């Protein structure tokens, strides 16, 4: 049925070791033998069984990637980065979506371990103690990417979120805005990353002697933010808000949609800024001014880190990686 190394050896009239040697270029083989083997491989259409190979070499060339939802914008960009770099080094990725369920995250961690993956990248939006414990005791290198929470002890690739908020605020002030509303998700208000952003926002407001104003809603999705539009608009009107700084692009887009449907123009009547630079941010009209979280790079850097530690064998690899911040000045914010 499937043709194996034995068949090749037989046809080439050499031993299977010799065949193995030419396949792997692992030891010198006489030109004569090599030729015969190569020929047999060609004729038979032989393709080595990676499973068997993995079993003996203990190298699966597999990186496990657990994501919140492969269908979400930013996740697919991270995965793209992982995949593209992994491919350069002949690593394949095996993927699983948790849809925010820590039980499923856990299941994938275990499953991937049994699949002998050589590294795991976990893109999560939640924090679960069991998951953290499991990771800490795992001998497999894990990179933990979470756009809401920092989990001390887990290796990650991150942005200095406070500085990022500062940068955005500085820009809004340059445009003449003073009454700036910060819109965020209730659930995140205590998350480590959101706290840092809020810190940056408050600090900036203080510098211009303004009272910070934070409004929280119960969602982090576009459609969700849309539903809260009326409520947000109320806050805007009651406080003479001229610019809204949203903790995630999704909120910004949802809000802009609501405003659009109400006939309120952005940025003429109100400026809106986001955070993340998800891919729609740049194609949406008006295009969204935002902080670029370099998702592709996050993925790319993550897998690079894993590959490096795989090569070094050592866990010399214990420092988080900070990525540069970039502000995207686009159409949704305007000078007043």
Partner DNA sequence: GTGAAAGCGCTAACAA
Partner DNA sequence: TTGTTAGCGCTTTCAC
Name which of 107 and 187 has its Cβ closer to its own copies: 107
Nearest distance, CB of residue 310 and DNA, angstroms: 15
Exactly one of 39, 42, 43, 49 binds DNA (CB under 7 A); which one? Answer: 49
Contacting range for DNA; rule: CB under 7 A; set: 24-32, 240-248, 260-268, 314-322: 24-32
Number of H-type helices and E-type strands within the chain:
13, 12
Query: Taking CB under 7 A as the rule, does residue 6 contact DNA?
Result: yes
Pick from 204, 278, 285: nearest CA to 245:
204
Exactly one of 10, 11, 24, 65 binds DNA (CB under 7 A); which one? Answer: 24
Q: Choosing among its own copies, DNA, none, which partner's interface includes residue 80 (Cβ < 5 to 8 Å by kind)?
A: its own copies
Pick from 192, 289, 182, 191: nearest CA to 245:
182
Exactly one of 39, 42, 57, 136 binds DNA (CB under 7 A); which one? Answer: 57
For residues 232 and 226, give the distance between their C-alpha atoms in angstroms, rounded to a whole number: 10
Name which of 51 and 311 has its Cβ closer to its own copies: 51
The β-bridge relationship of strands 180-185 and 141-146 is unpaired
Contacting range for DNA; rule: CB under 7 A; set: 20-28, 104-112, 137-145, 290-298: 20-28
- The residue assigned the tokens 């340059």 is 174
Would you tell me which residues interact with its own copies (CB under 8 A)?
A: 47-52, 54-55, 60, 62, 69-71, 76-77, 79-80, 83-84, 87, 92-97, 110-111, 113-116, 222-223, 253-254, 256-257, 260-261, 279-280, 283-285, 296
Name which of 112 and 149 has its Cβ closer to its own copies: 112
Name which of 26 and 265 has its Cβ closer to DNA: 26
Which phi and psi (to 5°) does residue 157 adopt? -125, 125
For residues 103 and 136, give the distance between their C-alpha atoms in angstroms, rounded to a whole number: 17
Q: Which helix (H) or strand (E) holds 211?
A: none
Query: Taking CB under 7 A as the rule, does residue 17 contact DNA?
Result: yes
Q: Which helix (H) or strand (E) holds 100?
A: none
Query: Which ranges of the chain would DSSP assign to H, the alpha helix?
Result: 5-12, 16-24, 31-44, 50-57, 73-88, 102-114, 129-137, 161-174, 192-207, 222-227, 229-238, 249-261, 295-312
Query: Taking CB under 7 A as the rule, does residue 103 contact DNA?
Result: no
For residues 156 and 26, give the distance between their C-alpha atoms in angstroms, rounded to a whole number: 36
Exactly one of 39, 42, 43, 52 binds DNA (CB under 7 A); which one? Answer: 52
Write out the residues near DNA by the rule CB under 7 A: 2, 4-6, 13-21, 23-24, 26-30, 32-34, 48-49, 52-53, 55-57
């Amino acid at each position: 049925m499937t043709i194996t190394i034995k068949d090749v050896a037989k046809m080439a009239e050499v031993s299977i070791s010799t065949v193995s040697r030419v396949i792997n270029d692992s030891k010198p083989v006489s030109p004569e033998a090599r030729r015969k083997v190569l020929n047999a491989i060609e004729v038979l259409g032989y393709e080595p069984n990676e499973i068997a190979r993995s079993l003996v070499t203990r190298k699966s060339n597999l990186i496990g990637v657990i994501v919140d939802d492969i269908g979400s914008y930013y996740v697919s960009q991270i995965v793209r980065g992982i995949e593209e770099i992994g491919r350069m080094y002949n690593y394949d990725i095996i993927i699983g979506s948790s849809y925010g369920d820590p039980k499923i995250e856990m299941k994938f961690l275990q499953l991937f371990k049994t699949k002998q993956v050589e590294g795991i990248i976990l893109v999560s939006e939640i924090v679960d103690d069991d998951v953290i414990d499991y990771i800490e005791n795992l001998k497999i290198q894990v990179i933990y990417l979470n756009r809401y929470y920092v989990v001390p002890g887990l290796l990650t690739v991150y942005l200095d979120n406070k500085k990022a908020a500062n940068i955005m605020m500085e820009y809004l002030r340059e445009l003449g805005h003073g009454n700036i509303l910060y819109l965020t998700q209730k659930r995140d208000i205590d998350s480590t990353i959101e706290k840092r952003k809020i810190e940056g926002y408050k600090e900036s407001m203080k510098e211009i002697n303004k009272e910070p104003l934070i409004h929280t809603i119960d969602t982090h999705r576009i459609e969700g933010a849309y539903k809260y539009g009326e409520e947000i608009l109320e806050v805007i009107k009651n406080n003479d808000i001229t610019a809204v700084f949203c903790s995630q692009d999704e909120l910004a887009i949802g809000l802009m949609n609501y405003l659009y449907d109400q006939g309120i123009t952005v940025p003429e009547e109100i400026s809106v800024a986001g955070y993340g630079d998800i891919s729609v941010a740049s194609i949406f009209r008006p295009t969204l001014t935002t902080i670029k979280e370099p998702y592709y790079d996050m993925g790319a850097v993550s897998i690079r880190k894993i590959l490096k530690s795989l090569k070094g064998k050592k866990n010399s690899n214990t420092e988080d990686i900070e990525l540069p911040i970039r502000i995207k000045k686009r159409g949704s914010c305007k000078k007043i």
